[in-house]
Amino acid sequence: MAKENTKYIFVVGGVISGVGKGITSSSIGLILKNRGLNVTAIKIDPYINVDAGTMNPTEHGEVFVLGDKDETDQDMGNYERFLDINLTRTNYMTTGRVYQTVIEKERNLEYKGKCVEVVPHIPLEVVRRIKKAGVDAKADVVIVEVGGTVGEYQNMLFLEAARMLKIEQPHNVFFIMVSYLPTPSKVGEMKTKPTQHASRLLNGSGIQADILIARADTPLDEKRKEKLAMFCNIPADKIISAPDVDSVYDIPINFEKEKLSEKLCEIMNVVCKKPDEKRWLAWKNFTKKVHNSKDTLKIAMIGKYFETGDFILSDSYLSVIEAVKYSAYSQNKKPIISWLNATDFEKSPAKLKELKNYDGIIVPGGFGSRGIEGIISTIKFARENKIPYFGLCYGMQLLVIEYARNILGLKDANTREVNPNSKNMVIDVMEEQKELLKNNLYGGSMRLGNYECVLGKGTVAENSYGSKEIIERHRHRYEVNNSFVESLEKKGLVFSGKSPNGKLMEIAELPKKDHPFFLGTQFHPEFLARPLTPHPLFTAFIKACINKKK
């Protein structure tokens, strides 16, 4: 049963994409949670893909994996980090997922002989999912971020769902439009017209925004607020100025300067409890560290999903970047992350020397063969030159390959993913994956989500976590081949984390006496790093970087 008065706040975007709806939704969630409300958040992605797992990161940014195996959008990571909650697959939907359910229901005769139509059956399924997420989380407030921009064809049915829910529960459904106000350099004046048009487009979907978040280079002046109030039908005090900021973590604080949580409680007609001082102070202290940490650490990220045309897209590794930041700030350090393209090291091996200028090296997750030899050469360099190295998923597998090649002397050691003819397949396909791959069953079929892992006594891993058992999130098809474990261990590599049955190697490391930090995880620790609770392995890596710098 839904709580009687669960409130639904839809967040929609106006004028341009990338206007910060995700961070806005996360920040609104945080300030409402701070007022004692139980908040959950939903992301709606308008694409046909059933989940984000089948897309290249350069298409759509990072694939954020939930504990329950769902492969989702990076905004889900923002919600988890800002709200400090764990979300599940009910919190994520795509057009593909919604249609899939409706079609399955139709095949099962669940529509009892009715003609199943795009309207109302698709929006009704959307509404069912939104309500279910609220029930599952026992939420007072469900924030629903509708991907895309108002006026485009792609998200129309989701806006229609929101409108239908508003008709059903007029006192429980609210709308926030996050819009963009450009200041063309030649004009020199902030322009409200595009936002006025966006507001009309939203009205055309039968929806009136209750609050407008006005994103712009600079704060809004009174004149602009009055204009927007007049032409968007929103009281001036419900128009919130959201100028560009240096750190996204300032946004909840800026919102509260505009009394947004009070205004939201007023609109929703819920009791606005006094803010949770302790949590709020912790958040403020965190943002102080973001701004005041001046001593820098230079971190190299070696990857291949950065470039889109002439632009660099760090979105592909968003969680890794944030995880590095949290741990660095916790040590009062400011991380400077450089993107180094793996293929550059293949073209000019002399470039490897430049790695000496960094305090630490990270190889994040990845797929396929492009750039792999370049990455392996950087890992070798990090090992030989005692530069702290942290490998995430593929970064762990490649660490093992590097060790097998250069320490065990297995020159053609490889992963089946790159060379299916290698005689020394130190990384091989997981048993249960074989059949899936043979039948081209790629979607949502990797080893995904939460798995337990047992840590070896006295290892770097155990010392970092300070516990013997952990749970981390996974996303992979390949794993360390057990027939090489003994010989690798004999030559000094330690498998310091294993699945509870001892069969899967989850962490590989060199002992502290041999290297300041040389560790790789088969899982993705970055998905569990939170601003107020940095991830212990990232913090251990950062500490090693600090020592290296000294």
Catalytic residue list: 393, 524, 526
Q: How far is Cα 238 from Cα 260, in angstroms, rounded to an integer?
A: 8
Q: How far is Cα 265 from Cα 271, in angstroms, rounded to an integer?
A: 7
Q: How far is Cα 498 from Cα 327, in angstroms, rounded to an integer?
A: 24
Q: Applying CB under 6 A, which of residues 147, 182, 365, 374 lies at the interface with ligand GLN? A: 365
Answer whether 545's CB lies under 8 Å from 385's CB: no
Q: How far is the CB of 250 from ligand GLN (least distance, A)?
A: 31
| 189-220 burial code (b ≥16 CB/10 A, e <16) | ebbbeebbbbbebbeebebebbbbbbbbeeeb
**Region of 327-335, 402-410, 474-482, 498-506 interacting with ligand GLN (CB under 6 A):** 474-482
Q: How far is the CB of 337 from ligand GLN (least distance, A)?
A: 18
Q: How far is the CB of 527 from ligand GLN (least distance, A)?
A: 11
Pairing of strands 141-146, 39-45: parallel
Nearer to ligand GLN, 227 or 498 (CB): 498
**Amino acid in position 137:** A
DSSP class of residue 367 equals: -
| 335-367 burial code (b ≥16 CB/10 A, e <16) | bebebbbbeebbeeeebbeebeebbbbbbbbbb
- Measure CA of the first residue to CA of the last residue in the chain; give whole Å: 58
* 486 Cβ neighbours under 8 A, 6+ residues apart: none
**Region of 113-121, 329-337, 390-398, 504-512 interacting with ligand GLN (CB under 6 A):** 390-398
CA-wise closest residue to 76 among 145, 140, 13: 145
* 376 Cβ neighbours under 8 A, 6+ residues apart: 398, 401, 402, 405
For the segment 400-459, give every residue that binds ligand GLN (CB under 6 A): 417
Nearer to ligand GLN, 131 or 477 (CB): 477
Nearer to ligand GLN, 142 or 393 (CB): 393
Q: How far is the CB of 433 from ligand GLN (least distance, A)?
A: 8
Nearer to ligand GLN, 129 or 447 (CB): 447
Q: Applying CB under 6 A, which of residues 164, 393, 493, 544 lies at the interface with ligand GLN? A: 393
Q: How far is the CB of 89 from ligand GLN (least distance, A)?
A: 19
Tokens in use for 393? 């998923």
Q: Applying CB under 6 A, which of residues 69, 416, 477, 535 lies at the interface with ligand GLN? A: 477
In 101-206, DSSP assigns E strands to 141-146, 173-180
User: Considering CB under 6 A, how many residues would be counted as binding ligand GLN?
Assistant: 11
Q: How far is the CB of 303 from ligand GLN (least distance, A)?
A: 10
Nearer to ligand GLN, 81 or 477 (CB): 477
Q: How far is the CB of 524 from ligand GLN (least distance, A)?
A: 7
Q: Is 526 in the site for ligand GLN (CB under 6 A)?
A: no
**Region of 365-373, 406-414, 436-444, 525-533 interacting with ligand GLN (CB under 6 A):** 365-373
Query: In residues, how long is the chain?
Result: 550
For the segment 177-206, give every residue that binds ligand GLN (CB under 6 A): none
Three-class secondary structure of residue 158 per DSSP: helix
The H or E element that residue 285 is part of is helix 277-292
Q: Applying CB under 6 A, which of residues 92, 255, 394, 517 lies at the interface with ligand GLN? A: 394
Nearer to ligand GLN, 215 or 476 (CB): 476
Nearer to ligand GLN, 29 or 366 (CB): 366
Q: How far is Cα 505 from Cα 12, in angstroms, rounded to an integer?
A: 44
When CB distances to ligand GLN are compared, the closest residue is 365
User: What sign does the CA torsion over 394, 396, 400, 406 have?
Assistant: positive
Q: How far is the CB of 364 from ligand GLN (least distance, A)?
A: 7
Q: Applying CB under 6 A, which of residues 326, 478, 517, 523 lies at the interface with ligand GLN? A: 478
Q: How far is the CB of 474 from ligand GLN (least distance, A)?
A: 8
What ranges in 476-535 are assigned the alpha helix state H?
Answer: 485-490
Q: How far is Cα 527 from Cα 412, in angstroms, rounded to an integer?
A: 33
Name residue, tokens 């492009």. 370
Q: Is 476 in the site for ligand GLN (CB under 6 A)?
A: yes
Q: Is 53 in the site for ligand GLN (CB under 6 A)?
A: no
Q: Applying CB under 6 A, which of residues 131, 325, 475, 515 lies at the interface with ligand GLN? A: 475
Name beta bridge partners: 469.
454
Q: Is 252 in the site for ligand GLN (CB under 6 A)?
A: no
Q: Is 64 in the site for ligand GLN (CB under 6 A)?
A: no
**Region of 94-102, 264-272, 361-369, 374-382 interacting with ligand GLN (CB under 6 A):** 361-369
DSSP class of residue 317 equals: G
Pairing of strands 414-415, 425-429: parallel
**Region of 158-166, 223-231, 302-310, 359-367 interacting with ligand GLN (CB under 6 A):** 359-367
What residues make contact with ligand GLN under the rule CB under 6 A? 365-367, 393-394, 397, 417, 475-478
